[in-house]
Amino acid sequence: MPDLPKFTVRVYGLFVNSHNQVLVVDEVQLDTPMTKFPGGGLEFGEGTLECLKREAMEEMNQPIEVNAHFYTTDYFQPAFFYDNLQLISIYYRASFVGPQVFTVSARPFDFAEKKNGNMSFRWIDAHELDPDIFTFPVDKKVAEMLRQELLG
């Protein structure tokens, strides 16, 4: 049997508060500090909306509502960490159900040591939403798209 193509699907939430600020997460995974949108990997057997809701509970302990599809990767993008995987990233506009229950910081990587699994959240003003702060190529593209949408 021939080797089948391999894909990884990632699902992210775009959260914008009433001050026109966008939520990002700074975290360390695979010994790599990264800045990205909240979300993560689709698990076998779950849908994309279910994935995003699960990730929000795991990362933020925050119930969310998925409001609208924003963007899905529409070009070939190799996975950042694995050469033999094609990445498909799906982004949704989302909002919190109830008040925000997780802690945010004003500074990037606001944790004591940069070890795998550590993460901190922060709000970035739409005017300061620079694609270059993001680690991953698709996030950079989405950050620019979102910035243009928010600032007109």
Structure confidence at residue 20 (pLDDT): 97
pLDDT at site 152? 85
Quickly count: other Cβ atoms within 10 Å of residue 44's Cβ: 5
Query: Which strand (E) or helix (H) includes residue 60?
Result: helix 48-60
The residues pairing with 64 across neighbouring beta strands, listed in sequence order, are 96
> What domains can you pick out in the chain, each with its CATH number?
7-151 (3.90.79.10)
C-alpha span between 152 and 146 (Å, rounded) = 10
How far is Cα 51 from Cα 107, in angstroms, rounded to an integer? 28
Residue 1: what pLDDT? 57
Q: Are residues 132 and 108 in contact, defined by beta-carbon separation less than 8 angstroms?
A: no
- Give residue 49's identity as a one-letter amino acid code: L
**Series of mean pLDDT values for 10-residue runs along the chain (152 residues):** 78 98 96 96 97 98 98 94 90 97 96 91 97 97 98 90
What was the pLDDT predicted at 148?
97
**Burial zone of 129 (CB within 10 Å; 0-12 exposed, 13-18 middle, 19+ buried):** buried
The pLDDT, as a whole number, for residue 5 is 64
